[in-house]
Amino acid sequence: MGTDRVMKVCIVGASGKLGQYMVRHALDRGYEVVGVCRERSVPKLAAFEGRMTVVPGATNDPEVIRRAVAGCDGVLTVLVPWGVQQYASGTAQAVLDHARPGARLVFSCGWHITRDGKDRYSWLFTTALRIVAVLGKLVRAVEIDDQVEACRRVFASDTRWTVVRGSDLEEGESQGLPVWSRHVGDPVLAGNLTRRVDFALFMVEALTDDALVHEAPAIVGRLTPAALAHTAAPDGPG
Ligand SMILES: NC(=O)c1ccc[n+]([C@@H]2O[C@H](COP(=O)([O-])OP(=O)(O)OC[C@H]3O[C@@H](n4cnc5c(N)ncnc54)[C@H](OP(=O)(O)O)[C@@H]3O)[C@@H](O)[C@H]2O)c1
């Protein structure tokens, strides 16, 4: 894209907590912003009225996504596994199918997603995930394996993707750009806590960071003790 044109980004899942932070960061950068959210959630974006375009609808509706991503240089997608309806994979597929070729695509998920199987999880993490996956599906509230499928499709695509894997999250003032590493279990990530506002910051920064194309960074707050202890490599692996 030329430097004389304002960057246009679509935020899929704009009305959620992460989504609203991303809207704010994108507007702060002077980007033109289009947001997608469920019709009933449009009022959650009232604070941004007049500063962004809202396309109401289900994020896994290909027609909604086609309209929303038209002409966008980047698409930030919140992947959520709600319900038993292939919501996350449907959302990812719609974005992969309809974003313009060459657009930067940045997806959010959690540490439980693994790209190459080299992540090392604690027994506690694995057990908790299994319980959520089984119980969530049983009561038809959450479909963790569909978020896994969504990311599998992203990893296999020939788009310019990044999958940002969030640690546990907390609210609070920004502490700056999180640090990242390629594998859960790497010492720098031991703190397992990121401010949600900074998760959003990392997502928006990834739009213009070509070093993150085809990476699945696992992120953590830059002020967590382990991140501070590894300040020799504060901005990523190596
Ligand atoms: N929560 C965590 O501790 C955590 C940890 C690591 C990574 N992550 C990742 O961070 C991202 C954001 O997670 P978050 O917890 O912070 O959530 P969030 O930003 O509040 O986003 C939740 C999203 O899910 C939508 N949603 C809620 N219920 C829904 C339903 N029944 N059907 C369809 N959509 C529904 C919301 O839309 P409406 O506004 O329309 O309700 C919103 O877009 C996700 O990719 C998640 O995997 C979260």
Residue nearest to atom 36 of ligand 1 (CA): 16
Provide the pairing of β-strand 160-166 with 104-110: parallel
Residue nearest to atom 34 of ligand 1 (CA): 82
pLDDT digits (tens, 9 = 90+) for 148-183: 999 999 999 999 999 999 999 999 999 999 999 999
Cβ atoms of residues 107 and 155 within 8 Å: no
What was the pLDDT predicted at 231? Answer: 67
What was the pLDDT predicted at 3? Answer: 57
Q: Hey, how many other C-beta atoms are within 10 angstroms of the C-beta on 192?
A: 16
Ligand 1 pocket residue status of 223, Cβ below 6 Å: no
In the predicted model, residues of the chain with pLDDT beneath 50 are: 2, 234, 238
Quote the CA–CA distance of 25 and 119 in Å, as a whole number: 30
pLDDT digits (tens, 9 = 90+) for 28-37: 999 999 999 9
Q: Which residues pair with 36 in a beta bridge?
A: 12, 55
What phi and psi values does residue 108 have, to the nearest 5 degrees?
A: -105, 145
Ligand 1 pocket residue status of 67, Cβ below 6 Å: no
Ligand 1 pocket residue status of 18, Cβ below 6 Å: yes
What was the pLDDT predicted at 4? Answer: 73
What was the pLDDT predicted at 175? Answer: 98
> Which contiguous run of DSSP H or E holds residue 109?
strand 104-110
Ligand 1 center from residue 229 Cα (angstroms): 31
Cβ atoms of residues 34 and 12 within 8 Å: no
Q: HSE-up of 206 (CA within 13 Å, CB side)? A: 35
Residue among 60, 78, 167 whose CB has most ligand 1 atoms within 8 A, to mutate: 78
Cβ atoms of residues 17 and 42 within 8 Å: no
Ligand 1 pocket residue status of 56, Cβ below 6 Å: no
Cβ atoms of residues 193 and 170 within 8 Å: yes
Ligand 1 pocket residue status of 22, Cβ below 6 Å: no
Is residue 81 packed enough to be buried (19+ CB in 10 Å), middle (13-18) or exposed (0-12)? buried
Ligand 1 center from residue 80 Cα (angstroms): 5
Ligand 1 center from residue 1 Cα (angstroms): 30
Ligand 1 pocket residue status of 63, Cβ below 6 Å: no
DSSP annotation string for 29-94: TT-EEEEEE-GGGGGGGGGGBTTBEEEES-TT-HHHHHHHHTT-SEEEEE---BSSS-HHHHHHHH
Residue among 40, 54, 80, 121 whose CB has most ligand 1 atoms within 8 A, to mutate: 80
Is residue 238 packed enough to be buried (19+ CB in 10 Å), middle (13-18) or exposed (0-12)? exposed
DSSP annotation string for 71-86: T-SEEEEE---BSSS-
Atom of ligand 1 nearest to the CA of 108: 45
pLDDT digits (tens, 9 = 90+) for 205-220: 999 999 999 999 999 9
